[in-house]
Amino acid sequence: MKRVKPGTGRELKPFRWWQPFSRSLYSVVLGRDDGRQAVYVVDVPHRRRFFANDGKGTADLYLGGRHQAESKLPAAFPISGGVIEVAESPFGLKRCHYVTAGGQEYPLIPEHTSAEGRRAHLARTHPALSRAISVTSVILLVISVLLLIPQLIEVAFTLPPVAPSFGTFVSPISLPAWLNSVIGIGAGLASIERALRLRHNRFLDTIG
């Protein structure tokens, strides 16, 4: 919460058709004590991380369409009744949740025209296809990790501190460069697909 800076009051820009993978937009509607509704929107322009010295992006919080606060990621925006938590992964967002004072967690709703929103629409309208895609993503990441680990061990055994003490290790898996590239691309697409659903596994989605 120490990262949170006051907002400027500027108006929220509409989501454009060319921004499906360069911007994430999530919202939540909460009730107020006076009976009215408060609409909070989290805006994450992913391009900012590429221009940041520390490689970390930022998130903006809007209330009623006006800029309320800004924070580096991971972010925790205090709001009435709880906090909105936002965290990024190398492939998008891994967390965008409203956490109540009592500890209940609720994922925010993605903008329907965004990549996240279209993925959520697919899950609602074609649940069987959505599950198949989800399972395929996990399988691709598992295969990538299983193939990568022996290669990483082989490289580690070539390092000067390791080789004299333990000898060498030859990976039993030797794939052509083109196949390694295909598997790497598949794993990257799988991680992007999971980020669209705010799914993240520290092992699979980082190593894979």
Write out pLDDT tens, residues 153-203: 666 666 666 556 666 666 667 778 888 788 889 999 999 999 999 998 887
The answer to whether residues 40 and 61 touch, using CB atoms and an 8 Å cutoff, is yes
Structure confidence at residue 165 (pLDDT): 61
DSSP 55: S
Q: Judge whether 198 and 108 are in contact, CB under 8 Å.
A: no
- What six digits make up the tokens of 13? 């820009």
Instruction: Kindly report the pTM of this predicted structure.
Output: 0.85
**Beta-carbon count within 10 A of 38 CB:** 14
Report in angstroms the alpha-carbon separations of 196 from 66, 88, 94, 122, 190: 25, 11, 8, 12, 10
